[in-house]
Amino acid sequence: MSSATIQYNTRSDYRKRKNRLFYWLVIAMSAITVSPILLIIYKLIIQGYKQINWSFFTKVAPNTLEAMTANAQGEVIPGGILNGITGTFLIVVMAAIIAIPVGIMIGLFLYENQGKRFASIVRDISDILQGVPSIVLGLIAYMWVVKPVTHGFSALAGSVALAIMMLPLIIRSTEETMKMIPTSLKEAGLALGVPYYKVILRVLIPTGFSGLSTGILLAISRIIGETAPLMLTTLGSSAVNWDLTKPTSAIPLLVWEFYNDPNMANLIWSSSLFLMGFVLVLNIISKRIAAKQNR
């Protein structure tokens, strides 16, 4: 009798100990998971803040010689990333102009045709498009735009690549947003004899506006740091360029250039910090909007 109890106790102890051990293992592993983000942000801030000044936003990237002299004299590298900022702005705005209207229309179509065969095919293909590696999209845009349309590297080609990246995200978020809107709102409009398209434009889209803008902001934050497709399409430029058919720089492209030039090492961190900050702000704004919506 007593021996059985003792045995039971040790077995129970063993199970409890294993349980505790696993608990701490989970906590330790989770700590390891989050440590990179803290380390990365720390590194970016520590190395990058020195270069962030007024000229960082108002001057174009310096050439190697300027950077070398500044380094030799122990000064802050002159110049900034203006050509990258304007380039990213141009490319992303154009991508958004292409992807947002089409994406919202497709999202509406999927919402209106739930359970239909064609709609589910479109949804599946859009899901697959979302998984296409960005470098492959760069190849595609190269063959669709760079070669036949602009006959050379161009901002437009980069926009096309990024637009294809954005499209599935917009489609998904539009459909999800529309599903959350009570059907009674839609039915009320239709019962009053309002044409179907007006119900969508005047009821569904305004009601789902915050959901739609969350999706758009998140999609932009996803594409703004893309480097690989731009290397194959927009190439880069040392001056500010507003022409869609000309090679254009972008912040991630500048980071890549700085990375390949040892003299520019100091500029890498500030540009990355700026890029990262931008992505963060977009994320936070979209989360705020989503939180407000839920309340």
Partner 1 sequence: MKSDKIFKYLLFSASFLVIIVAAGMVFTLSSGAIPAFKEFGLKFIISNQWNPTEGRESYGALPFIAGTVITSVIALLLCIPLAFSTSLFIAEYFYKKRVAMFLSTMVDLLAGIPSIVYGLWGFYVLRPFIVELGLSPQGYGIFTASLILAIMIIPYATSLSSEIISMVPNDLKEAAYAMGATRLEVIFNVILPNARSGIFASFILAFGRALGETMAVTMLIGNSNIVPTGLFQTGNTMASVIANQFGEADGLKLSSLIAIGLILFVITGLINAIGKLIIKKLA
Kindly identify the residues of this chain, within the stretch 256-285, that bind partner 1 according to CB under 8 A.
Answer: 256, 259, 268-269, 272, 275-276, 279-280, 283
72 sits near partner 1 (criterion: CB under 8 A): no
Comparison of 70 and 290: residue with beta carbon closer to partner 1: 290
Write down the least CB distance from residue 73 to partner 1, Å: 24
Among 32, 65, 191, 192, binds partner 1 (CB under 8 A): 32
Tell me the C-alpha distance between 135 and 144, whole Å: 14
Kindly state the number of chain residues that form the binding site for partner 1, as judged by CB under 8 A. 79
**Interface with partner 1 in residues 111-170 (CB under 8 A):** 112, 118-119, 121-122, 124-136, 138-140, 143-144, 164, 167
196 sits near partner 1 (criterion: CB under 8 A): yes
Among 9, 11, 13, 15, binds partner 1 (CB under 8 A): 15
Among 102, 203, 285, 290, binds partner 1 (CB under 8 A): 102
Comparison of 68 and 265: residue with beta carbon closer to partner 1: 265
Write down the least CB distance from residue 23 to partner 1, Å: 7
Tell me the C-alpha distance between 253 and 169, whole Å: 23
Comparison of 216 and 255: residue with beta carbon closer to partner 1: 255
Write down the least CB distance from residue 206 to partner 1, Å: 17
Contact predicate 133/204, CB 8 Å = no
93 sits near partner 1 (criterion: CB under 8 A): no
Comparison of 86 and 126: residue with beta carbon closer to partner 1: 126
Contact predicate 208/177, CB 8 Å = yes
Of 49-57, 58-66, 99-107, 202-210, which segment contacts partner 1 by CB under 8 A? 99-107
Tell me the C-alpha distance between 272 and 261, whole Å: 15
Helices 117-130 and 155-180: crossing angle, nearest 10°?
130
Residue 243's SS3 state is coil
Tell me the C-alpha distance between 102 and 137, whole Å: 18
Site string for partner 1, 224-253 (x = CB under 8 A): xxxxx--xx-------------------x-
DSSP one-letter string for 3-55: HHHHHHHHHHHHHHHHHHHHHHHHHHHHHHHHHHHHHHHHHHHHHHGGG-SHH
Write down the least CB distance from residue 152 to partner 1, Å: 14
197 sits near partner 1 (criterion: CB under 8 A): yes
Write down the least CB distance from residue 227 to partner 1, Å: 5
Query: Which residue is associated with the tokens 């802050």?
Result: 76
